[in-house]
């Protein structure tokens, strides 16, 4: 804000300068020095960035369930920082995504699971998808509401009763406390090599913006 003497309170706001994380962060500057990191850019860059937000993003498949809520902390150049609440979910190992969806879908019937489906893919370039390490798929079930703290809430009674026994022996309950997550979107099929490449790109972007 730009302020000047005057007005009923003795000071008046006479101007304001907005800084956007997506365009005003200077590469390779420390995040601890805000004045150095955030610099003005030509107006045409700002207009282009704004119009890009309004442009169609192509086909987006509808979500199968309400999404786990989050607080957007930063819309960076090529990524987002989101704060997710603590949540409890169920997870299972899988070889193919349709098998994982089928198992969790049958288990969570009537429990109103949340999107997105969270899949763990190992980011070691020397590890193949079929190299003995199980891939895991997780569905959130419940999350902590504002004012309920940062820990995960208790799991639904039906999930506790079924998980880990009988036909559900491979399904476990997993709790995740509140955390901040860096997100990079990509349009290619979520195969191991594609995910690992996106992971490398995201890490480079975070380092560029002082978020190592």
Residue 159, classed as helix, strand or coil, is: helix
Distance of alpha carbon 9 from alpha carbon 97, whole angstroms = 62
Q: How confident is the model over 8-28, as a mean pLDDT? A: 85
Average pLDDT for 76-105: 94
Residue 126 confidence (pLDDT): 44
* Model confidence band, residue 92 (pLDDT cutoffs 50, 70, 90): very high
Find out whether 23 and 203 touch, Cβ atoms under 8 Å: no
pLDDT tens digits, 127-165: 444 444 688 999 999 999 999 999 999 999 999 999 999
- Alpha-carbon gap, residue 199 to 128, rounded angstroms: 16
Is pLDDT at 125 greater than 70 in this prediction? no
Question: Is 61's pLDDT higher than 60?
Answer: no
Q: Is the model more confident about 119 or about 174?
A: 174
Which range is most confident: 39-48, 61-70, 105-114, 133-142? 105-114
As a whole number, the mean pLDDT across the chain is 87
Closest CA to 69 of 119, 123, 115: 115
Count CB-CB contacts under 10 A for residue 144: 18
Task: Give the model's pLDDT for residue 48.
Answer: 87
- According to the model, what pLDDT value does residue 16 have? 81
pLDDT tens for each residue of 174-208? 999 999 999 998 888 877 788 889 999 999 999 99
Nearest to 120 by CA among 65, 69, 174, 75: 174
State both tokens at 149: 């703290």
CA distances from 130 to 81, 84, 94, 101, 181 (A): 31, 31, 11, 19, 27
State the pLDDT at residue 58. 58
What is the pTM for the complete model shown?
0.77
């Amino acid at each position: 804000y730009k302020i000047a003497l005057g007005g009923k309170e003795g000071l008046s706001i006479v101007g304001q300068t907005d800084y956007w994380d997506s365009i005003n962060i200077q590469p390779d500057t420390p995040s601890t020095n805000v004045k150095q990191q955030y610099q003005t850019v030509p107006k045409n860059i700002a207009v282009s960035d704004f119009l890009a937000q309004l442009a169609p993003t192509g086909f987006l498949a509808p979500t199968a369930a309400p999404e786990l809520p989050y607080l957007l902390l930063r819309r960076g150049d090529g990524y987002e920082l989101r704060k997710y609440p603590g949540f409890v979910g169920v997870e299972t190992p899988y070889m193919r995504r349709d098998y994982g969806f089928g198992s969790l879908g049958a288990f969570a019937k009537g429990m109103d699971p949340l999107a997105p489906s969270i899949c763990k893919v190992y980011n070691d370039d020397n590890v193949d998808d079929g190299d003995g390490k199980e891939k895991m798929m997780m569905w959130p079930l419940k999350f902590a509401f504002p004012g309920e703290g940062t820990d995960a809430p208790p799991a639904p009674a039906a999930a506790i009763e079924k998980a880990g026994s009988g036909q559900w022996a491979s399904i476990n309950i997993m709790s995740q406390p509140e955390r901040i997550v860096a997100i990079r979107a990509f349009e290619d099929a979520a195969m191991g090599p594609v995910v690992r490449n996106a992971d490398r790109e995201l890490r480079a972007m975070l380092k560029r913006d002082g978020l190592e």
